């Protein structure tokens, strides 16, 4: 793996919904030496440098973006991950209707929100709907393409990762 690939991979990993959930789980469950051991296991399971994972999980050090101009698939991936985080926070808000609306399904609404975020200043509803449908399909493809290319954990495999660490 090239150095650039590793930087991009860790940047995407650190800005993902799955990583956020894993880090919160580890910090809540473990303290001190046990937390350090679980971080070491996580770095081995996901094939990252131990120092990167330790700095990120324990010390909350976020990596810098390795791009000057981010490619569209990576922008799309990050936007979907950002929306996944927002939706999960909404589900925690007892006054939100997200819990009833989405019934535990977060990815599809996150993709739809991300697609809508990219479509701005479109006045015609029919044109917006057509572009929106195209963008949803493209965003779905880009999300899994980036996750596969960079071997990133998706929300479906978080429970398996947590079992491997425990």
Q: Give, in order, the Cα–Cα distances in Å from 139 to each of 52, 76, 145, 149, 153.
A: 29, 6, 10, 15, 17
Cα atoms in the Cβ-side hemisphere of radius 13 Å centred on 57? 31
**CB of 77 closer than 8 Å to CB of 13:** no
Query: What is the average pLDDT across 13-35?
Result: 93
DSSP at 153 = P
DSSP at 51 = H
pLDDT band at 91, cuts 50/70/90?
confident
Print the domain residue range for 20.
Answer: 3-165
d(CA 46, CA 31): 21
Q: What is the pLDDT of residue 78?
A: 97
**CB of 121 closer than 8 Å to CB of 131:** no
pLDDT band at 92, cuts 50/70/90?
low
Tell me how many domains the chain contains: 1
Q: What is the pLDDT of residue 102?
A: 45
Q: Give, in order, the Cα–Cα distances in Å from 59 to each of 13, 52, 53, 95, 141.
A: 16, 10, 9, 32, 34
Answer whether residue 96 shows pLDDT above 70.
no
């Amino acid at each position: 793996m090239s150095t650039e690939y590793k930087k991009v991979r860790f940047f995407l990993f650190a800005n993902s919904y799955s990583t956020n959930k894993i880090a919160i789980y580890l910090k809540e469950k473990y303290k001190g030496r046990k937390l350090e051991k679980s971080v070491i296991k996580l770095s081995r399971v996901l094939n990252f440098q131990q120092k990167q994972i330790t700095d990120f999980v324990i010390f909350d050090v976020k990596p810098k973006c390795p791009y000057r101009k981010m490619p569209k698939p990576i922008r799309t991936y990050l936007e979907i991950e950002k929306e996944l985080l927002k939706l999960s926070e909404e589900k925690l808000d007892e006054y939100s209707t997200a819990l009833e609306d989405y019934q535990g399904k977060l990815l599809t609404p996150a993709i739809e929100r991300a697609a809508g975020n990219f479509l701005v200043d479109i006045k015609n509803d029919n044109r917006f709907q057509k572009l929106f449908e195209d963008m949803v399909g493209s965003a779905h493809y880009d999300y899994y393409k980036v996750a596969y290319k960079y071997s990133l954990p998706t929300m479906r495999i978080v429970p398996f990762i947590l079992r491997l660490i425990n």
